[in-house]
């Protein structure tokens, strides 16, 4: 297996416009804004099986087109105070990053009013 070695912090890698860190910040802010606007968000510090990713919490949206979820940095926990808080996150349905994009776009088309 070939490996790519980057002589810098990957978070600082840029496409010439945005770094990975900037894109994650954008994704987090957009997700939290959508959750607040729709009032359908939930959050938990623990996964359904009780495991945890230290420094992160899991947050999700229950959309008519399916569940989407992200791990968000723990420092954003208080920002997401409007989300329903679970002791443990709902069970994961196995969605992939591609599924999340598809479910969001299907929701956009569904909400085309």
Q: What is the pLDDT of residues 48-88, one digit of tens each?
A: 999 999 999 999 999 999 999 999 999 999 999 999 999 99
* pLDDT bracket for residue 6 (50, 70, 90): low
Of the candidates 40, 55, 36, 28, the residue with the CA atom closest to the CA atom of residue 90: 40
Task: Give percent of the chain above pLDDT 90.
Answer: 74
Task: Give SS3 for 13.
Answer: coil
Q: Is 57 exposed, middle or buried (0-12, 13-18, 19+ CB in 10 A)?
A: buried
Strand arrangement of the beta sheet that strand 66-73 belongs to: 66-73, 56-63, 41-44, 84-85
Task: State the pTM of this model.
Answer: 0.84
Q: CA Rg, the chain, in Å?
A: 16
The total of other beta-carbon atoms located within 10 Å of residue 3's CB is 4
User: Per-domain residue ranges for the chain?
Assistant: 18-28+39-110
The total of other beta-carbon atoms located within 10 Å of residue 36's CB is 15
The pLDDT value given to residue 21? 85
């Amino acid at each position: 297996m070939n490996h790519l070695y980057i002589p810098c912090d990957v978070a600082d890698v840029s496409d010439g416009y945005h770094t990975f860190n900037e894109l994650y910040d954008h994704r987090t802010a957009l997700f939290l804004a959508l959750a607040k606007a729709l009032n359908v968000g939930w959050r938990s510090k623990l996964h359904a099986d009780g495991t945890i990713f230290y420094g992160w919490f899991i947050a999700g949206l229950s959309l008519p087109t399916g569940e989407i979820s992200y791990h968000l940095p723990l420092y954003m926990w208080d920002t997401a105070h409007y989300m329903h808080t679970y002791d443990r996150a709902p069970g994961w349905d196995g969605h992939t990053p591609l599924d999340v994009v598809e479910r969001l776009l299907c929701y956009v088309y569904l909400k085309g009013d």
